[in-house]
Chains A and B, each alone.
Chain A
Amino acid sequence: MAETVTSPNKEVKPPNPQIENLKIVWKKLKKNKIAMAGGFLILFFILASWIGPLLTTMDPSQPNIPDRLQGPSAEYWFGTDHQGRDIFTRIVHGMSITLYIGFVSVALGCVAGVFLGLISGYYGGRTDTVIMRIMDVLLAFPGILLALAIVSVLGGSLNNVIIAVGIFSIPVFARIVRGSALAVRKLEYIDAVRALGASDTRIIFKHVLPNIMSPIIVQATLRIATAVLTASGLSFLGLGAQPPTPEWGAMLSAGRNYMWEHPHIALFPGLAIVAVVLAFNLFGDGLRDALDPKMK
């Protein structure tokens, strides 16, 4: 509508239900201590991935053979690896890679999955059957196996890992969205806009999608944890990030050979993975409870 038109009664601001809802969700979320802890951890990780590399003084990939395989000390907080690189520095530098993999792969899977789910749920019939059977095929593989298969076809690299993890996230989103879309499209207001002559695209994106956002957000948060874990797994198997990239899964894999004598090499990257996965899972669980209108 025209910008020049001012709304009547400007001074009385009606509560916007979206903002009102957000307030309620935030209130519920605040009460959930564990979820808040997860949320703060996530914030901390994101900040650390930006600021951390600027604060560390050592090079994450330059070998320093004389200092190799040293245990944790004041100089090397988490010790050094088999090439003498500071593990703490590498973990800090690897943070952004991990988060990048998590966010981008989930974004890919989410966009594709939501789109397929919307089409499937809204149109139903044969379209639905075809799409959902393909999703079932994808779901039938255990996640890591599917990602493994995709990476071995595409070749091992960080971007291919992201694509692989994204693809195996698609069916999860498609299923959830389809279910929600099926429920929403039966509502009368969808019929009302259809009777007005709205196109399917308009109905799907303006009326169905905004009303099914909460399950998508929750799933995306939880999915980031899975994506990080899977990507680390692939790198551990040597299919993801290639050395000397300070990717946590790859670091874990490199530390494997020195497990018995120098456990810290594998321990710290492992702990880092656990921390990130845990943070996203805790926050996602809390978010699900907070967004569920039935939970008080």
Chain B
Amino acid sequence: MTTELLQVKNLKQYFPIKGGLLGRKINDVKAVDDISFSIKAGETLSIVGESGCGKSTTGRAILRLDEPTAGEIHFQGDDLLSLNKKEMRKKRKDLQIIFQDPYASINPRQTVRQVLNEAMEIQNVLPKEQRYDRMIELLETVGLGPDKLDRFPHEFSGGQRQRIGIARALAVDPKLIICDESVSALDVSIQAQVLNLLKKLQREFDLTYLFISHDLGVVRHISDRVVVMYLGKIVEIGDKKSLFDNPKHPYTKTLLSAIPVPDPKRKKDQIILKGDVPSPIDPPTGCRFHTRCPFATERCVTEVPELRNTTGMKNGHESACHYIEEIESGEMKPKY
């Protein structure tokens, strides 16, 4: 069993809504509401879910790009949330992020050399004289030629820019990289290249990834374990095989049934949910999925389900549903 690199405990991220004459807080957007999980060193943990479920917010909260409302984030024994600004700045060396939009994530006025140099300068990774060689090495690692060093972002394609973003993250020798929809904005062929690059880098540099995505195909390709989020809560967590082969939560089942299958003859057994995702401002009581769940009962409205493990769920696979067994045995039938 490998050690846990990152432990998120009861993380909450509420964004206040201000209104009225005096700009008083009238409510909160509960983007992430009390979630806990951990990432082992060297693994890839993915967070999936639809837009607005809080997956990106979780990533940003771990990096303290937004200050979380409550909770603990333990990274190598330190609680990141209790560090002061200066300590946190030093700690950032170990935690990096690769963003979704390769066009927005690099300062358009900096050359690749300036981008990489700045990263190393901020964290003081290498003495000045050695930085040049390191920059060339980094470019090579991400598959860009040394001639690209003095070019500006607008001279690159999206895939190349994403590689620059990866090089920037690698420049400080991080341990954990958060990939926030890092391949979503790329063409499918480029996606594959970048994903393979990420995998290669993981092997080479012993990296741990927190991979945030809405693309289940991508998640299936890259992850070791998967977290499924719905409306700020974790509904299911488990290792990739167990979760994809044997989803327990009705939401996960719906999500997985939506993966397109490249076979026109196969019968479509896609589950179509009714309604829309409720607002995270006033999320539903009890199980947050009860407004759309075909199995929902009175209990789901009042009682919040905890993540739990039952027979037949292997390798720490847990699901937050009251009726895992009943649905499994066919005792409960979907209402629509």
Interface residues of A (CB under 8 A from B): 1-2, 5, 7-9, 12, 14-18, 187-189, 191-199, 202, 206-207, 210-211
Would A189 and B96 be within 8 Å (CB), given that A7-B150, A8-B147, A194-B65 are in contact? no
Report the bound CA distance from A187 to B99 in whole Å.
11
Residues of A within 8 A of B246 (CB): none
Would A191 and B128 be within 8 Å (CB), given that A18-B109, A197-B90, A198-B122 are in contact? no
Report the bound CA distance from A197 to B85 in whole Å.
9
Residues of A within 8 A of B131 (CB): 1-2
**B104 at the A/B interface (Cβ < 8 Å)?**
yes
A247 to chain B, nearest CB (A): 41
Interface residues of B (CB under 8 A from A): 60, 63, 65, 88-93, 95-97, 99-101, 104-109, 111, 113, 117-119, 122-123, 128-129, 131-132, 136, 146-147, 149-152, 154-155, 165, 168, 172
Residues of B within 8 A of A7 (CB): 113, 149-150
Minimum-distance CB pairs A-B, first 3: A197-B92, A197-B89, A188-B105
Report the bound CA distance from A8 to B60 in whole Å.
37
Closest to A191 in B: B65
Q: How many A-B residue pairs have CB under 8 A?
A: 93
Q: List, sorted by A's number, 24 A–B pairs whose CB atoms are closer than 8 Å.
A: A1-B117, A1-B132, A2-B132, A5-B132, A7-B149, A8-B136, A8-B146, A15-B152, A16-B152, A17-B108, A18-B109, A187-B104, A189-B104, A189-B107, A191-B60, A192-B105, A192-B165, A195-B92, A195-B95, A195-B97, A197-B88, A197-B91, A197-B92, A202-B122
Residues of A within 8 A of B101 (CB): 188
Report the bound CA distance from A211 to B117 in whole Å.
19
Report the bound CA distance from A187 to B101 in whole Å.
10
15 further A-B contacts with Cβ under 8 Å, apart from A189-B105, A197-B93, are A7-B150, A8-B146, A8-B147, A9-B147, A12-B147, A188-B99, A188-B101, A189-B106, A191-B65, A191-B105, A192-B168, A193-B118, A195-B92, A195-B95, A198-B118
Contact partner of B149 (CB less than 8 A), chosen from A8, A195, A197, A211, is A8
Report the bound CA distance from A18 to B105 in whole Å.
18
Residues of A within 8 A of B128 (CB): 1-2
Tell whether, in the assembled complex, residue A196 and residue B146 are in contact, meaning their CB atoms are under 8 Å apart: no
Report the bound CA distance from A177 to B172 in whole Å.
32
Report the bound CA distance from A233 to B113 in whole Å.
51
B148 to chain A, nearest CB (A): 9
Tell whether, in the assembled complex, residue A199 and residue B92 are in contact, meaning their CB atoms are under 8 Å apart: no
Residues of A within 8 A of B136 (CB): 8
Closest to A16 in B: B152
Interface centre among B63, B107, B117, B146 (most CB of A within 10 A): B107
B302 to chain A, nearest CB (A): 38
Residues of B within 8 A of A14 (CB): 111, 150-152, 155
Residues of B within 8 A of A5 (CB): 132
Residues of B within 8 A of A16 (CB): 152
A7 to chain B, nearest CB (A): 5
Report the bound CA distance from A286 to B245 in whole Å.
65
B202 to chain A, nearest CB (A): 19
Tell whether, in the assembled complex, residue A191 and residue B108 are in contact, meaning their CB atoms are under 8 Å apart: no
Closest to A8 in B: B146
Closest to A6 in B: B132
